[in-house]
Structure 1
Amino acid sequence: MIIFSLLATIGKVMHGDSDDEIELMKRIQAGHEDALEELYELYKRLLFGMILSIVKKKEVAEDVLQEVFITVWDKAGSFDKDRGNVYSWILTLARNKAIDRIRSKSYKSQEKASVSIHDPFFTLEGDKFDPLETTIFSNRAELVKRALQEIPEAQRRVIHIAYYRGLTQSEIANHLDIPLGTVKTRTRQGMIKLQRILGDYIN
């Protein structure tokens, strides 16, 4: 999906495509638990922010994040570096799990979120405050926000709904009461523009 191409581009702002990450995956595939811990430390904030933006609740986001890395450990053998980078693979796992959670009956029965996704300095349980890391994360969020503001509102709206609410293109068409073809066109054009804008920012 084109949305993951965009998110992979965003990820380069934080980590880039590192051979070290491929090596970590090889060690995880070989059963080295310390490699999983290293990967968790590398990606936890980036993934937590994305998951939180979908599930809206800090405690749920923490739970989903743990599930993601359990899956990474269990499914490490399915990772193929020739089919994509580590970041994109884990990001796909995280987004799918977050969307599965908000669609579950147990989630829908819970109370309204108590933690705003707009809190810029949220921390994971037990984490120490790291000003540099927080600054990097905040800068990345601002980068995406700026890029989104540079595309037409109609395109921005369908992308926002798809990413933050996890709706399919058919569901977006019903939600906005517009043709499915229009949703597909706006999404494709918007994502292409975002990729170009973010690429300019990064370079």
Structure 2
Amino acid sequence: MILFTLLATIGKITHGNSDDEIELMKRIQARDEEAIEELYNLYNKLLFGMVISIVKKREEAEDVLQEIFVKIWNKADQFKPDRGNVYSWIVTLARNTAIDRIRSKGYKTQQKQSVSIHQPLFSLEGDKHDPMETTIFSDRAELVQKALDKIPEKQSKVIKIAYYRGMTQREISDHLDIPLGTVKTRTRQGMIKLKRILEEHISTDG
């Protein structure tokens, strides 16, 4: 997945490989219903902001959010702490679920239409979000946006298209009318630069 490395790196900023979160996942794997509620309280605002950035509609986002936590409950055994942190696993699952939703609703036929790729990478909607959660979320969004602004536009463009429209590299190639190899190269180079920028930020703040 194009953004997996980026999301994993971002995760270190506020979540990392938290022992508490790993313990929550172990409890969910043991079918502890209180644990899934705790995980929901920890992640629902963050995931809602990401999902609504993809599906665009609040009702859809709320429905997808519920589906995500059902999947977490049902697929908890697939999480392996030695293969990645909880944040990365959940965000990847959430993004895939949101992309599946817009494709299932017929959005795939609209992918070649012009849509803005200059909107914030994540967004929070509504007035019920905790101020501290909103601050943390906004800081992460701002960091990613600044990182994207620091890499060449051609590289950031393919990454944004992949994120917002859920396109494969082949679809991006067709959409931009450029060779598939060029898409892969721009994506790889862009992700390397993004990862370096984010890791530099993390090490500086740490």
Preserved contact between residue 52 and residue 123 of structure 2 (Cα < 8 Å)? no
Preserved contact between residue 158 and residue 172 of structure 2 (Cα < 8 Å)? yes
- 1:98 — aligned with what? 98
Deviation at 1:120, TM superposition (A): 5.4
Distance in 2, matches of 1:2 and 1:105, equals: 23
- Over aligned residues, Cα RMSD in angstroms? 2.0
| Alignment coverage as a number of residue pairs | 193
SS of residue paired to 2:125: coil
Cα distance change on mapping 1:181 and 1:121 into 2, 3 Å: closer
- 1:112 — aligned with what? none
Deviation at 1:47, TM superposition (A): 1.6
- 2:125 — aligned with what? 122
Deviation at 1:2, TM superposition (A): 5.1
Cα distance change on mapping 1:129 and 1:80 into 2, 3 Å: closer
Where does structure 1 differ by over 6 angstroms across 4 or more consecutive aligned residues?
none
Q: For each residue in 1:3-52, what CA deviation from the matched residue of structure 2 results, as whole angstroms up to 9, or x when unmatched?
A: 21110111222222101111001100111111001111111122222211
Deviation at 1:105, TM superposition (A): 3.4
Q: Which amino acid aligns with 1:12?
A: K
| Identity value in percent | 71
Deviation at 1:128, TM superposition (A): 3.6
Range 60-69 or range 78-87, more displaced: 78-87
Q: For each residue in 1:140-176, what CA deviation from the matched residue of structure 2 results, as whole angstroms up to 9, or x when unmatched?
A: 1111111100000000100000011100000000000
Contiguous gaps of at least 5 residues in structure 1: 110-116
Deviation at 1:129, TM superposition (A): 3.8
Distance in 2, matches of 1:50 and 1:121, equals: 8
Range 86-95 or range 21-30, more displaced: 86-95
SS of residue paired to 1:133: helix
Preserved contact between residue 27 and residue 35 of structure 2 (Cα < 8 Å)? yes
Q: Which amino acid aligns with 2:168?
A: T
Q: Which amino acid aligns with 1:185?
A: T
Cα distance change on mapping 1:131 and 1:140 into 2, 3 Å: same
Q: For each residue in 1:83-125, what CA deviation from the matched residue of structure 2 results, as whole angstroms up to 9, or x when unmatched?
A: 222111111211111111111136679xxxxxxx7695513xx
Alignment of 1:136-175 (within 5 A): 136-175=136-175
Cα distance change on mapping 1:103 and 1:141 into 2, 3 Å: same
Q: Which amino acid aligns with 2:32?
A: H
Distance in 1, matches of 2:23 and 2:123, equals: 32
Cα distance change on mapping 1:128 and 1:49 into 2, 3 Å: closer
Alignment of 1:1-12 (within 5 A): 1=1, 3-12=3-12
SS of residue paired to 2:3: helix
Contiguous gaps of at least 5 residues in structure 2: 110-118
- 1:30 — aligned with what? 30
User: If the length of structure 2 is used for normalisation, what is the TM-score?
Assistant: 0.87
Preserved contact between residue 54 and residue 99 of structure 2 (Cα < 8 Å)? yes
